Structure 1
Amino acid sequence: MSEGPSPKPSLGKVLVVGGCGFLGSHIVNLIVKRHPESQISVLDLRTNLNRHASPKISYHDGDITNPEALKAIFAKIRPDAVINTASPHFNAPPQIHDKVNVEGTKNLVKAAQEAGVNAFVHTSSASVLLGPGIELVNADERWPMITGDAQPEYYTTTKAYAETAVLEANRTPATFLSCAIRPAGIFGEGDVQCLPPMVTAYRKRQTKWQIGTNENLFDFTYVENVAYAHLLAVQALLHTHSMIPSVPLDNERVDGEAFLITNGQPVYFWDFARAVWHEAGDRLPLNKVWKLDPDFAWAIGGLLEWIFWALGRKPSLTRQQARYSTLNKYHNIDKARNRLGYRPLVDLDEGVRRGVRHIIEQDEKESQKKSQ
């Protein structure tokens, strides 16, 4: 496990947008840990969750879809750097994805430009490279983004449009530097999309089957590593800013660029699931596992979606889940290694241990509250 380079005491005044969310709160925690002299402000729609105990952090309720409100907040904070992690839930309506991911991001960029922000780091997604019939095998940043009608997930299309807006704004004005981080398969303490459904599957005794033969490699990324990549990007942009009007060489440049971020440990999909289940307590031997045909599982997922839609609920198996669990989806992170100096701080096994332990501890706390 690498500890990474020694942290610099301060990143200046940093505004973390979405800083009470899953990734955003981990970024705040890591700034406190690695850059303790930084002045941290958090902007979120509601700042009542995932608040850090430090009295040095200021919290601001605000809506990034409201340009005037943003202008007032930026005028008050005057940040040197902005990290934008704000995004609605994957399953939110399309109009919400448009409003928050696209228009909200453009509002943030404009407010940052007008306030004289030096560095703007935007959270994108590795899935912008993924389309129907496409498998990501050692994919890197040279792969084209899939958007519009070619992109089946509207959320992903809006993430791609938001990233484009951020990168196009780079050096406009010349002192405004921006880049994008594209994480793949984030998991860890506080996530709601990756680990909790897997732990629930274990508790429902659904570990005795898998879809396909488990020959597809997949990237999962521990959340602290994603947070670390954001901080490295801020450092790099601030360093570049200090050198203006000089421009880095193309093979060293960070501003105007996107970076794929993973744990650098592609793993067979069902091996990851079974690592999660094992940490949760599962001891089912592999010779007891049933292998479902992928096409059959996809069809069953579609049927369950229709039935549960009529009931107003979400099924435990969807067509998207059936596809993802048999898909090759792993990436090349050499660009982040070479230009950001990125090395994962926490390996996959330790990340799984921390994430599952957190779920168990939270459940135990809830049980104790109910029994009192």
Structure 2
Amino acid sequence: MKLPKDGLSATGVTKILVCGGAGYIGSHLVQELSTQQDYEIIILDNLSKGHIKSIPKGIKFEKADIRDKTALERIFSKHKPDAVMHFCASISVGESVADPLGYYENNVAGTIYLLQVMKKYNVKYFIFSSSAAIFGNAKEVPIPDDARPEPINPYGDTKFVVEKMLAWSENAYGLKYICLRYFNACGAHESGDFGEDHDPETHLIPLILQVALGQRESISIFGDDYETKDGTCVRDYIHVTDLATAHIRSLAYLIKENKSQSFNLGSGEGYTVKEVINAARNVTGHPIPDKVEDRRIGDPAILIAGSTRAEQILGWKRKYNTIESIVASAWKYHKTHINGYNY
């Protein structure tokens, strides 16, 4: 994707600190950003979830944790970034219910330290990887951009707390930010060289593909008695490269307009768990046995977001419009990286 001619390079903003840039979404953002000229990318990652092999050659890397304020100050002093993109959150709903304090420590306290150092070094622009989980059991589906946030689990609440902090920080310090709210990032880079590799893996599509690869006997369906068309949860699935494109467009908009904004990034339609499993069966040619288990605490029945504002203001359009195309991209990566980046 090419930025508009009046994008970042025209304003002199060229150094971008990507926090969590060795992780799943962050690494795909770096892949897309690194193909464009006039950018200097610095990755900050503690590698607790990220992978050193996902970092392209020539990209500057700093191993650090955003909760380490001393390390943050060293990195900001050394690299003098013009903008920050933040992908460092812990992301498991179930884990957040079991360990809420750990989630607030990383997702909220870590972001506070990051914003404090940005303020000290006069870094004005911030792109936040938020979540449509802030909306909880939304009353309107697809969830509109101006829906009222009512998170129902600690993970969603940590994202909402940060969004509120950003609004107050703009009021007090002149910070300009964009919050991008989305649900299930999925798929893999079109090259098949970069993809999803979590330990433990909790995301549906890679778990399904592990069955196709013979790494697990079946895929678990957590509840089949929801009020949906087949009884299983409905979720939005957005390809990770489409998300990367939205982040790049958001940064260009932020610099050009100097205006904070929030955008939902969704498909406007969702797929049930069973529909995703069937798509994987069609793509892989594997029967993929499934097993119904009890519901998980904190799982809403339907989570689908709209993206009207992002489409109208950012000109964002998804390249991957079907669940089959998303699963096919993930399959291309996983079948050649059976053990992820430890292939």
TM, length-normalised to structure 2: 0.80
Residue aligning to 1:228: 245
CA distances 1:8-48 after superposition (whole Å, capped 9, x unpaired): 68451111001011111111111012x23200000111375
Q: 1:1-372 alignment to 2 at 5 Å?
A: 10=9, 12-33=14-35, 35-46=36-47, 49-55=52-58, 57-90=59-92, 91=95, 93-131=99-137, 134=138, 137-147=141-151, 151=152, 153-170=153-170, 172-174=172-174, 176-189=175-188, 190-191=195-196, 192=201, 193-202=203-212, 203=214, 206=218, 211=224, 213-214=229-230, 217-241=234-258, 254-255=259-260, 257-282=261-286, 300-301=293-294, 318-320=295-297, 327-348=301-322, 349-363=324-338
1:112 positional shift: 1.3
Return closer, same or farther for 1:366/1:4 CA change in 2, 3 Å cut-off.
closer
* Equivalent residues of 2:205, 2:276 under 8 A apart: no
Give a deviation string over 1:203-244, Cα, whole Å, max 9, x none.
556479893542775311111111111111110111123xxx
Contact 2:20 2:44 in 1 (8 A): yes
Report the Cα distance in structure 2 between the residues aligned to 1:69 and 1:366, rounded to whole angstroms.
27
Distance in 2 between residues matched to 1:188 and 1:211, nearest whole Å: 25
Q: CA deviation at 1:135?
A: 5.9
Cα distance per residue 1:164-191 (max 9 Å; x no partner): 21232225433x3111111111112333
Amino acid corresponding to residue 12 of structure 1 in structure 2: T
Unaligned runs of 5+ in 1: 242-253, 302-317
Aligned length: 314
Q: Secondary structure at the match of 2:337?
A: helix
| Distance in 2 of aligned mates of 1:48 and 1:272 | 27
In the alignment, the residues of structure 1 paired with residue 220 and residue 341 of structure 2 have an alpha-carbon distance, to the nearest angstrom, of: 28
User: Do the aligned residues in 2 keep the contact of 1:125 with 1:159 (CA within 8 Å)?
Assistant: yes
Q: 1:344/1:104 Cα in 2 relative to 1: closer, same or farther (>3 Å)?
A: same
Distance in 2 between the 1:195 and 1:207 partners? 10
Q: Retained in 2: the 8 A contact 1:19–1:28? A: yes
Identity %: 19
Q: In structure 2, the residue corresponding to 1:83 is in which secondary structure? A: strand
Q: Show CA shifts across 1:108-128 (max 9, x none).
A: 112112212231000110111
Change (3 A) 1:183 1:18: same
- Contact in 2 for aligned 1:129/1:144 (Cα 8 Å): yes
Rate the CA distance shift 1:158–1:208 in 2: closer, same or farther, 3 A.
Answer: closer
SS in 1 for 2:34: helix
8 Å Cα contact 1:130-1:136 kept in structure 2: no
Distance 1:171 1:179, change over 3 A: farther
Name structure 2 gaps, 5 residues minimum.
189-194
With 342-351 and 199-208 compared, the bigger mean Cα shift is at 199-208
Preserved contact between residue 25 and residue 50 of structure 1 (Cα < 8 Å): no
2: distance between equivalents of 1:105 and 1:364?
Answer: 31
Alpha carbons of structure 1 residues 196 and 74: separation in structure 2 relative to 1, 3 Å: same
Range with bigger deviation, 343-352 or 104-113:
343-352
Question: Measured at CA, do residues 22 and 50 of structure 1 come closer, stay the same or move farther in structure 2, by a change above 3 Å?
Answer: farther
Pair member with larger Rg? 1
Is contact 1:135–1:329 with CA below 8 Å preserved after alignment? no
C-alpha separation in 1, matches of 2:106 and 2:178: 19
Distance (Å, rounded) in 1 between the aligned partners of 2:4 and 2:272: 33
TM-score (norm 1): 0.74
Q: Is the CA contact (8 Å cut-off) linking 1:80 and 1:119 kept in structure 2?
A: yes
Q: Secondary structure at the match of 1:140?
A: coil
